[in-house]
Chains A and B, each alone.
Chain A
Amino acid sequence: AQKITQTQPGMFVQEKEAVTLDCTYDTSDQSYGLFWYKQPSSGEMIFLIYQGSYDEQNATEGRYSLNFQKARKSANLVISASQLGDSAMYFCAMREGVKTGGFKTIFGAGTRLFVKA
């Protein structure tokens, strides 16, 4: 069975500093994808970054990077140079069979990030 674990219900970070949001996962599949989404107070889900299970390099998208450690089954999100607008809920998610477009996405419980001025 799939399982996504986010152990940090809330995190504080000072503006302009970097922050790491933890995510561990559990799957028996060899092919899967890991995603991070941002959900501001408005409720919309914003895609941030993707890491494929076969990708050898860690994914990066602007200020977002994913620290993928396959053996440890962790996919932590690193946000560099935090901005006040980064304050939001962040969800880690996983989907098996990602290249074939099938299967459902499982979400973690989320981490609420607060950026302090």
Chain B
Amino acid sequence: GAVVSQHPSRVICKSGTSVKIECRSLDFQATTMFWYRQFPKQSLMLMATSNEGSKATYEQGVEKDKFLINHASLTLSTLTVTSAHPEDSSFYICSVRTVVGVYTEAFFGQGTRLTVV
């Protein structure tokens, strides 16, 4: 079964509105979650690292005021795309890491396809 649940899977919003995407860790507590963005036919690009109880760490070039991340509990991180524009249309995917044996493995959510019209 799914280890990480991401909601919604698809969303269409009007330009200028805000959209919230949820990422839930179902089977374990996650102090750290990761948010990625994937443009069509491209690879995953890390946007930010979400830390429970503290501020997120954003990658260079990612606007923290536009992509608000809240990690209020050990099982939930949210990404809010504020004042969305058509260029924000993309596939957003979160991941959670946990220790499996002697290494850490990343489990991914199902992804959210955002379309801004």
Give the total number of A-B pairs whose CB atoms are below 8 A apart.
Answer: 58
A35 — which chain B residues lie within 8 A by C-beta? 105-106
Within 8 A of B (CB), among A48-83: 50, 52
Q: How far is the CA of A108 from the CA of B97 in the complex (A)?
A: 19
B83-96 to A contact mask, C-beta < 8 Å, 1/0: 00000000101010
Q: Does B7 contact A (CB under 8 A)?
A: no
Q: How far is the CA of A98 from the CA of B101 in the complex (A)?
A: 12
Q: Does B13 contact A (CB under 8 A)?
A: no
Interface size bracket, A side: 20 to 34
B contact set with A: CB distance below 8 Å: 32, 34, 42-46, 49, 91, 93, 95, 97, 99, 102-111, 113
A contact set with B: CB distance below 8 Å: 33, 35, 37, 42-47, 50, 52, 91, 95, 98-99, 101, 104-110
